[in-house]
């Protein structure tokens, strides 16, 4: 089944009581907070890594921007959800950090393909991954 795909974006934010350096280091410790199987490296510009959920979901990312303590951008270079052949290749996931008093504000943005009628699912997944999984790792 081929599904109609639209380009969309979604942004969420969290504030954590740590320095931008600490938060940045945790973002790049992907295997500790991303809910799928992780393989590869995520510690410098041009690193590549994959996420996998069994044989149903696969995506490969490359770090296309890496500014320690400030910003990291992942570009999806390959992707497939085999249940319906949906792919989101070309999407970018951007993590931007800024000091906020004694805390750090982390702004996350997904920008790229979203399957028809799945924007709400995108919002739920981004909120789960950033506002729960990553937040819990950082504040541990």
Q: For strands 5-16 and 37-40, give the pairing.
A: unpaired
**Is 67:50 a contact under the CB 8 Å cutoff?**
no
Beta-ladder partners of 110: 10, 93
**Structural domain of 23:** 5-139
DSSP per residue, 20-85: HHHHHHHHT-GGGT-SSEEEE--SSTT-EEEEEETTTEEEEEEEEEEETTTEEEEEEEEEEETTTT
Which DSSP symbol is given to 86?
B
What the block records as the tokens of 137 is 């790792």
CA angle 134/137/140 to nearest 5° reads 145
Confidence of residue 3 (pLDDT cuts 50, 70, 90): low
Give the count of domains, the chain.
1
CATH number of the domain within which 106 lies: 3.30.530.20
Confidence of residue 6 (pLDDT cuts 50, 70, 90): confident
pTM (predicted TM-score): 0.94
Mean pLDDT in residue range 50-56 = 93
Q: List pLDDT tens digits, range 15-30.
A: 999 999 999 999 999 9
């Amino acid at each position: 089944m081929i599904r109609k795909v639209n380009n969309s974006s979604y942004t969420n934010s969290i504030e954590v009581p740590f320095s931008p350096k600490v938060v940045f280091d945790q973002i790049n410790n992907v295997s500790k907070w991303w809910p799928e199987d992780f393989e590869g490296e995520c510690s410098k510009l041009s690193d590549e890594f994959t996420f996998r959920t069994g044989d149903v979901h696969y995506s490969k990312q490359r770090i296309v921007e890496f500014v320690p303590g400030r910003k990291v951008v992942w570009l999806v270079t390959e992707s497939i959800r085999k249940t319906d052949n949906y792919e989101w290749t070309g999407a970018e996931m951007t993590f931007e950090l800024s000091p906020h008093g004694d805390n750090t504000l982390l702004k996350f943005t997904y920008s790229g393909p979203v399957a028809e009628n799945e924007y709400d699912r995108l919002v739920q997944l981004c909120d789960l991954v950033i506002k729960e999984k990553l937040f819990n790792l950082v504040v541990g």
